[in-house]
Structure 1
Amino acid sequence: MTSRLVPPAGPRRVLALAQLANSIGDGAYYVTSALYFTHVVGLAPARVGLGLTVAWAVGSLAGVPLGRVADRRGARGAAVLLAVGTAAAVGSFLVVRGFLPFVLAACAYATAQSGMAAARQALLAGLVTAGERTGLLAHLQATLNAGLAVGAGLGGLALQAGTRAAYLGVFALDAASFLVCAALLLRLPTVAPVTVGEGREQGVLRGRPTRERDGLGVVRDRPYVVVALLNTVLLLRMPLLSLGLPLWIAERTTAPAWLVSALFVLNTGAVMAFQVRMARGVTGLGSATRAVRRSGWVMLAACAVFALSAGVPRRPAVGFLAVGAVLQVVAEMGQSAGSWQLSFDLAPVDRVGEYQGFFGTGVTVARTLGPLVLTSLLVGWGTPGWLLLGGATVVASHAMGPAARWAADRMTRPGVDAGREGARTGWVTGPVRRGQWISNSPPK
Structure 2
Amino acid sequence: MPNLLPPAGPQRTLSLAQLSNSVGDGAYYVTSALYFTHVVGLAPGRMGLGLTVAWAVGSVAGVSLGRIADRRGPRGTAVLLALTTGLAVASFLVVRDFALFLAAACLYATAQSGLAAARQALLAGLVATKERTGALAHLQSTLNAGLAVGAALGGVALSAGTTAAYLAVFAVDAASFLLCALVLLRLPAVPGAPGGRKVKLAVLRDRPYAVVTLLNTVLLLRMPLLSVGLPLWITERTEAPEWLVSALFVLNTGAVMLFQVRTARAVRGIPTAVRALRRSGALMVLTCVVLAMSAVDSPWAAVAALAGGSVLLVAAEMLHSAGSWQLSFDLAPTGRVGEYQGFFGTGVTVARTLGPLVLTGLLLGRGTVGWLLLGGTVLAASYALGPAARWAAGTRQEPAPAPAAAQAV
**Structure 1 length as normaliser, TM-score?**
0.89
Distance 2:56 2:67 in 1: 18
**Equivalence map 1:259-408=2 (5 Å):** 259-408=244-393
Distance 2:173 2:26 in 1: 9
CA-atom RMSD in angstroms: 1.4
Distance 1:317 1:98 in 2: 43
Q: What is the Cα deviation at residue 236 of structure 1? A: 1.2
> Please, which runs of 5 or more residues in structure 1 have no aligned partner?
198-211, 425-444
- Matched to 2:79, the amino acid is V
Distance 2:388 2:153 in 1: 43
Cα gap change, 1:250 to 1:81, in 2 (>3 Å): same
Name the SS for the 1:95 alignment partner: coil
Other-structure match for 1:163:
162
Cα gap change, 1:129 to 1:216, in 2 (>3 Å): closer
Matched pairs, number: 403
- Matched to 2:136, the amino acid is L
CA contact (8 A) 1:20 1:144 kept: yes
Distance 2:5 2:105 in 1: 32
Distance 1:352 1:144 in 2: 21
- Matched to 1:124, the amino acid is L
Q: What is the Cα deviation at residue 314 of structure 1? A: 1.3
CA contact (8 A) 1:80 1:186 kept: yes
Other-structure match for 2:93:
94
Other-structure match for 1:11:
10
1:223-246 per-residue CA deviation (whole Å, 9 max, x = no partner) reads: 000000000010012111211111
> Please, which runs of 5 or more residues in structure 2 have no aligned partner?
404-409
Name the SS for the 2:374 alignment partner: helix
Other-structure match for 1:195:
194
Q: What is the Cα deviation at residue 423 of structure 1? A: 12
Cα gap change, 1:294 to 1:412, in 2 (>3 Å): same
Distance 2:177 2:195 in 1: 31
Distance 2:338 2:270 in 1: 20
Other-structure match for 1:85:
84
Q: Which has the higher contact order (CA 8 A, sep 6+)?
A: 2
**Structure 2 length as normaliser, TM-score?**
0.97
Other-structure match for 2:30:
31
Q: What is the Cα deviation at residue 213 of structure 1? A: 3.7
1:249 to 2:240 alignment: no
The more displaced of 176-185 and 315-324 is 315-324
Q: What is the Cα deviation at residue 4 of structure 1? A: 3.2
CA contact (8 A) 1:16 1:139 kept: yes
Distance 2:402 2:215 in 1: 25
- Matched to 2:227, the amino acid is S
Other-structure match for 2:61:
62
Other-structure match for 1:200:
none
Other-structure match for 2:129:
130
Other-structure match for 1:139:
138
Distance 1:164 1:257 in 2: 26
1:285-332 per-residue CA deviation (whole Å, 9 max, x = no partner) reads: 000000001100000000000011112411111111111000000000
1:185 to 2:184 alignment: yes
Distance 1:162 1:318 in 2: 30
